Structure 1
């Protein structure tokens, strides 16, 4: 008897709980970067650096869960939207890693590179969330039809 591949409930719970958190941290870092550009108060730069680090720490776990679900255990049932979301999130993490190094610089040396990297990270994550939302919405409409 050949069973259909399925995703772990625990993995789905961990992914569902942790996946939105990095987006919030990275959006907050972008806001802090913009405030820093406008005020030149170093506190905002240091706050953005910490937010980027926490966002990266929280982004790694859902990416490993997603890696296992999309590319290893459930690759036969993974849809193109799942794969696109994985790559967009991975690119966002790479941009955030570079951004963490940029934010380790002193004071105003972070500007403008840090702001652009923060914006790039947020945009990539936002596009990934939109792709998945459209995919889930289309899948629900298809199943109700």
Structure 2
């Protein structure tokens, strides 16, 4: 008798290597962003794609706020096409970062998603920057 885990066989190592390597070209995680910031190695633009109110209530330090609806060629005209954008939203329950990544890629920019979003950031034990005294739920307005 095999477990549910082995019910579907694992991919051959070469295919698994390709799959997982490819995933890393599309995403980064909260720990890598934090470590890069701590080391002063910030060669990317971190973008919170939630609405302004959610951003004010708490966002990843160093992030700028460009809500999804404002990710346009006009809004991004000052960024060279080589700018790497790292996008995030509220968390894994929100697809705002995916929508933002699609828009940025369509505009010709390299882009990665910070997996986990705000939820992942907090789960790692990292602090948010808060621009408002009132602390309320941090949601997605994307």
Q: TM-score range by the shorter chain?
A: under 0.3
Taking structure 1 as the reference length, the TM-score comes to 0.26
Give TM-score scaled by structure 2 length: 0.26
Q: Between Structure 1 and Structure 2, which shows a larger proportion of helix residues? A: 1
RCO greater where, 1 or 2, for CA within 8 Å and sep 6 or more? 2
Going by fraction, where is strand more abundant, 1 or 2? 2
